[in-house]
Amino acid sequence: MLDAGGELAGVLRIFSGSSHPELAQEIANYLQCPLCRRTTSRFTNDNLFVRLEESVRGKDVVIIQSFSPGCEGGTSVSDNVLEMFLMLDAARSASAKSVHAVIPYFSYARSDKKDEPRISIAARLMADLLATAGAGHVMTMTLHSPQVHGFFSVPTDHLTAQDEMVRHFRNRDLSNTVVVAPDMGHAKRALKLARALGTSVAAADKERIDDKEVHIERIIGDVAHKDAIVLDDEIATGGSMIALVELLIRHSARKITLACTHGVFCGSAIERLGNMREIEEIVTTNTVPIPPEKRLPNMTILSVAPIFGEAIRRNILGQSVGSLFAYWPDQPEG
């Protein structure tokens, strides 16, 4: 990544929501811009009140908020989504030149189709509401399925943490390694990482029973006596990963590493993963805050701040961000 060099300090205003101010500060540091102040409180009727404490008139405004539980007073996902909408509206109403919504973890991307009667396609609804609230541009990372990118009516950059993963894994011996996708839907993402690392690739045949339970019948590809890197977009309850690790063990895989962009680790996921001695390492990123009680001894957390910082810099300066995209072909930018 290039050094932003503080060239945007005069035109850029960066605000953080309540969900992940630590990542927002890292992004601001990368851009050598201050993180502007924001006040969030509640009225007596429990309604949220949000105020941007810096003038944004004529400025390019970036608002950073993961759709995850927050680390400021234990805020909920719903609180943080609404806070984002209010901040976007405040920036637009205060005559900002441009308003950019940076959502490192877009959790509603999992609701991308109508697979039951009388349910909402929440990912599309959230995309519509972001534009309605005032976002003229969205940046996010590793959506659960690529079609969610098409739900947005405003320009949207779908970024990837692959470069950080590649840099991390290239520090180890990969001569007998296979990258494993947890299901066929994620095979393309696993194949791209495997090509970058020069390894083979395999995929599991997974059927999801419900939000917590999955059934994995077989693995397509050779994993016997190989080191396995299991790549997924996120680890939530850990059910898919644990089922796949157990199957990999039965297929005589050697060292097993779990890798994901979004380390949500909800419910008993950390306890269950911590009890599996066969897992050598868990590699994730800081798209969501991971408190100390969720940080296992074998966990590595990579920072995505340089990726988002560089995407912001290039957007404000009118430069291409193609090389930072998820699912982008491995070729020079046009």
Beta partners for residue 282, in sequence order: 258, 299
pLDDT single digits (tens) 103-121: 999 999 989 999 889 999 9
188 is catalytic: no
Residues 236 and 271 in one domain: yes
Residues 126 and 198 in one domain: no
Asked if residue 154 is part of any domain, the answer here is yes
Asked if residue 274 is part of any domain, the answer here is yes
Q: Which of 59, 206, 212, 226 is catalytic?
A: 206
Res. 329: pLDDT tops 80:
no
Residues 249 and 192 in one domain: yes
Query: Within 10 Å of residue 142's Cβ, how many Cβ atoms?
Result: 25
Mean pLDDT in the chain? 92
pLDDT of residue 207: 65
pLDDT of residue 154: 98
What angle (nearest 5°) sits at the alpha carbon of residue 201, between those of residues 197 and 202? 155
Asked if residue 6 is part of any domain, the answer here is no
- Give the pairing of strands 227-235 and 256-263: parallel
CB 254 within 8 A of CB 224: no
Asked if residue 134 is part of any domain, the answer here is yes
Residues 191 and 290 in one domain: yes
Asked if residue 3 is part of any domain, the answer here is no
DSSP letters of 230-264? EEEEEESSSHHHHHHHHHHHHTT--SEEEEEEEE-
- What DSSP state is assigned to residue 277? T
Residues 176 and 191 in one domain: yes
Residues 153 and 178 in one domain: no
Residues 218 and 119 in one domain: no
Query: Within 10 Å of residue 205's Cβ, how many Cβ atoms?
Result: 13
CA distance 257 to 269: 16
Residues 296 and 191 in one domain: yes
Residues 17 and 155 in one domain: yes
How many domains is the chain partitioned into structurally? 2
CB 240 within 8 A of CB 182: yes
CA distance 56 to 14: 10
Amino acid at 58: G
CB 273 within 8 A of CB 279: yes
Amino acid at 186: H
pLDDT single digits (tens) 272-304: 999 999 999 999 999 999 999 999 999 999 999
CA distance 73 to 122: 26
Residues 150 and 210 in one domain: no
Asked if residue 208 is part of any domain, the answer here is yes
Residues 178 and 287 in one domain: yes
CB 251 within 8 A of CB 245: no
Asked if residue 271 is part of any domain, the answer here is yes
pLDDT single digits (tens) 161-219: 999 999 999 999 999 999 999 988 889 999 999 999 999 999 998 666 555 566 677 89
Residues 271 and 312 in one domain: no
Asked if residue 98 is part of any domain, the answer here is yes
Q: Tell me which residue range forms the domain holding 151.
A: 12-160+305-324
Res. 269: pLDDT tops 50:
yes
User: What CATH number has the domain bearing residue 146?
Assistant: 3.40.50.2020
pLDDT single digits (tens) 138-155: 999 999 988 899 999 999
CA distance 217 to 70: 36
Torsions phi, psi of 183, nearest 5? -160, 170
pLDDT of residue 146: 86
**Closest of 97, 123, 101 to residue 112, by C-alpha:** 123
The region that residue 238 occupies, defined by phi over 0 for left and psi between -120 and 50 for alpha, beta otherwise, is left
